[in-house]
Amino acid sequence: MNLRDLRYLVAVGDHRHFGRAARACFVSQPTLSAQVEKLEEYLGVQLVERGTRQVLLTATGEEVVARARSVLNQVDDIVELCRAAAEPMTGDLRLGAIPTLAPYLLPHLVAQATEAWPRLRLLLYEERTELLVDRLRKGELDGALMAMPVDGDDLAAVPVFEEPFLLALPAQHPLADRDSAPGPGALPDEELLLLEEGHCLRDQALEVCQLATESAGSTCFRATSLETLRQMVAAGVGMTLLPRLAGQVAADLPGASAVKLLPFPEPAPARTIGLYWRKGAARASTLEAIAETIRDLPVVQANTRPCAPGPVS
C-alpha cells in the first residue's frame, strides 16, 4: 500500500466515477482502476462497488476513505511544514471566504499581500460556511474567513474583527429620517428581507432581530446575494441588515441614493469574523500573519473593530 493508491481511492470517493477520478489524478482510467483493485487485493476487502452507471463505496470503503483523507492531509502538512519553515510567506495559499464578506474584503487583502509578500500567491475561493468547512477538512483549503463561531474540534481559529450591522431601508421609508435605526427587536417582521437558507448571515439576521421561526421576515422573497437584497431595498420592497463593509461599498454604487443606511445604537449588533484552519496545519504561522494584515487594512480599521491578537483557539 502506498500514498499514491490512497490518493486514487480518495479521488474515487470524491467523484464517484472512475473517469473523473482519473482526470483529477492526471492518470488514465485503466491505471487508476487497476491500482484501486490492487489496493483491495492487498487489504483483502472490497472497497468499491462497480456498477454500470454509478460507483459506490462499501461501508468499509467509506471508512477507509475517511482515514486515508486524514493520512494524506497529514502527509501534505509535513511537506508544507518543511516548505513553510524555510520560506513561510511564499508559494500558494488557498484561502476561502463567505460570500457576504469576500467581495468587500478580499480585493483589499490581495493588494496589500501582493505588495508585502510578492512571492506569496493567494488562491481565493468564495463559498458558504458549510462548504468552506468541508473543504478545509478535505485539505482543499489552507484557511477560511468565516463568521464565528464555527463548530469543529479539529479546527483552529483566531478572531480578526467585529463587523457591525447597518439597517438598509428605502430612502422614502418613514424611518429614513432618523439618525439611527430602532432597536433590532423593534423592526417590523413583515418588511425584513433575508438571504436564502444556507447563508450564515440569514441566521445572524434572525438572531439579531429576535426572530426565531422560519416564517419570520418576508415570506415572498429569499435573496441569493447581498447585492440582490440591496436592489430590492432600493425598489422599496422592504428593509434588510447589511454588514458594514458591504454597506460602505453599496454607498458608492449606482442607485445608492435610493437606499438609506442607518447605524444601530450601541451596543450595536455585530458579527465576529475569524480565520480558521485545520489544527496542526503547516501554514498556521502564515495564516496568523494574514490575520494581522487584515486587521491593519485601512478599510477594516475604518469600518470594523479589529480584534486584538491573542492565542489560537
Higher per-residue pLDDT: 225 or 293: 293
User: Rounded distance, CA 166 to CA 179, Å?
Assistant: 12
Name the one residue in this structure whose C-alpha cell is 487489504: 43
- Give pTM, 2 decimals: 0.74
**What is the arithmetic mean of pLDDT over 257-262?**
90
For residue 167, what is the enclosing H or E element? strand 155-170
| Residues β-bridged to residue 168 | 240, 261
Is 31's pLDDT higher than 80?
yes
pLDDT score at 82:
78
Amino acid at 305: R
Cell of 249: 461599498
226 or 295, higher pLDDT: 295
Q: Walk me through the domains of the chain, giving residue ranges and CATH numbers.
A: 3-83 (1.10.10.10), 90-313 (3.40.190.290)
Residue 60 · residue 46 · CB < 8 Å: yes
- CA atoms of 156 and 154, how far apart (whole Å): 7
Chain centre distance of CA 73: 19
Query: What's the pLDDT score for residue 197?
Result: 77
- Cβ pair 102, 199 in contact under 8 A: no
User: What three-state secondary structure class fits 244?
Assistant: helix
C-alpha grid cell for residue 117?
509578500
pLDDT digits (tens, 9 = 90+) for 136-163: 998 899 999 999 999 888 999 999 999 9
Task: Name which residue leads in pLDDT, 103 or 88.
Answer: 103
Which SS3 state, helix, strand or coil, does residue 306 take? strand
Buried b vs exposed e over 150-186: b needs ≥16 C-beta within 10 Å?
beeeebbbbbbbbbbbbbbbbeebebeeeeebeebee
Cell triple for 270: 455585530
Helix axis angle for 29-43 and 3-15, nearest 10°, is: 110
Task: Please report which helix (H) or strand (E) contains residue 136, including its range.
Answer: helix 129-138
CA separation for the pair 311, 313 (Å, rounded): 6
pLDDT digits (tens, 9 = 90+) for 183-242: 777 777 667 888 887 788 888 887 877 654 444 544 456 788 888 888 889 898 888 889
Quote the percentage of the chain above a pLDDT of 90.
57
47 is written with which cell numbers?
A: 472497497
